[in-house]
Structure 1
Amino acid sequence: MIFAKSHLDLHNIRNNVERVKKLSDNVVGVGPLGVGLDGLLTWIPGAGELYSLGAGGLIIMDAVRARAAPMIVIQIVAIILIDTVAGSLPVAGKVADVLFTGHKWSADMLINHMDDTIYFEGSRKEVQGTAEYRDLLARIQAGKEKRRVVFLG
């Protein structure tokens, strides 16, 4: 099962993304700044890049599972690649990897996108007859609602 089929799946995706975000960029927090495994492992040759790609891969997979818009997935991939490449550079890259919180940025982008999406359990055909869907459709057509609609069926 690659795609989320229920609101419970979406809840689990959100929890996974929050966990990766915290581990990667905020295990040790000092005021508004934090350092996570991504920043700590960058000082071990190869380990930082492997961690960055692995953690980023989890966020990307969760974006696909949550049926994020293709442009959001592309932006998340770009951020993860920049974060990984920056961390592989000598000295300056190590400092940049500590300061550039790519996993946090990507995770926040996905969570905000999920918050701006209305998910319906079931297929479009199953949901079209419900009063909730008709009300939402009327609000969208009236210009009162600009959220994305995704059917989980």
Structure 2
Amino acid sequence: MVTGPQSTPRSAKRMELDFPLGTDPVAIRRRVEALEHVLERAFTVPGINRKLGLDAVVGLVPIAGDLISGAMGLYLVWEARNLGMSKWQLARMTANVGFDTVLGAIPVAGDLFDFLFRSNSRNLKIIRKHLDKHHPHTRVIDA
């Protein structure tokens, strides 16, 4: 049996490249972008062509759903902390998640609010701005 890097199955290499677990800025950028996509834009609502994510879907479950989506949103804040972002930026991101969680917990109106106010997209914008300024090598140009 061969050991070493050549013996790694092809599927394991692919998974490693698709979801990096490192603490470097490139890996963090890929993780937060993937999580934001799942939370805010994973599905398209037929008829209105509006993107919908797990945040709005899980938010349909009263109280517990909003707490779960809030916890997932706080993961973005934790990753931002790992990047060394300022306390002001972290406070702003935490306020976005808190505002989304509290107002999302209101029955019916909160579900509409979750559909319109995308705290995770706002937080990703803050993270991207920080990364583009302090770690420009992490920027990916989409064609």
TM-score, with normalisation over the residues of structure 1? Answer: 0.67
Q: Whole-Å Cα distance in 2 between the matches of residues 114 and 75 of structure 1? A: 16
Q: Whole-Å Cα distance in 2 between the matches of residues 51 and 104 of structure 1? A: 17
In structure 1, the partner of 2:43 is 28
8 Å Cα contact 1:80/1:103 also seen in 2 = yes
CA radius of gyration, larger in: 1
Quick one: structure 1 residues 109 and 33, their matched pair in 2 at CA, closer, same or farther if it must change by over 3 Å?
A: farther
Which amino acid in the other structure matches residue 30 of structure 2? N
Q: 71, 92, 101: which is aligned to 2:118?
A: 101
In structure 2, the partner of 1:92 is 109
Q: Which structure exhibits the higher relative contact order, with contacts defined as CA atoms closer than 8 Å and separated by 6 or more residues? A: 1
Q: How high is the sequence identity, in percent, across the aligned residues?
A: 27
CA RMSD of aligned residues (A): 2.1
8 Å Cα contact 2:38/2:54 also seen in 1 = yes
Question: Which blocks of at least 5 consecutive residues in structure 1 are unaligned?
Answer: 1-6, 120-153
Q: Whole-Å Cα distance in 2 between the matches of residues 90 and 25 of structure 1? A: 20
Q: Give the secondary structure class of the aligned counterpart of 2:44.
A: strand
- Higher share in strand: 1
- Residue 32 of structure 1 and its aligned partner are, at CA, apart by 7.3
Q: Whole-Å Cα distance in 2 between the matches of residues 47 and 25 of structure 1? A: 18
Q: Aligned residues, how many?
A: 113
In structure 2, the partner of 1:9 is 24
The CA deviation string for residues 107-135 of structure 1, in whole angstroms up to 9 with x for no partner, is 1211112111258xxxxxxxxxxxxxxxx
Question: Which blocks of at least 5 consecutive residues in structure 2 are unaligned?
Answer: 1-21, 137-143
Q: Structure 1 segments of 4 or more deviating over 4 A?
A: none
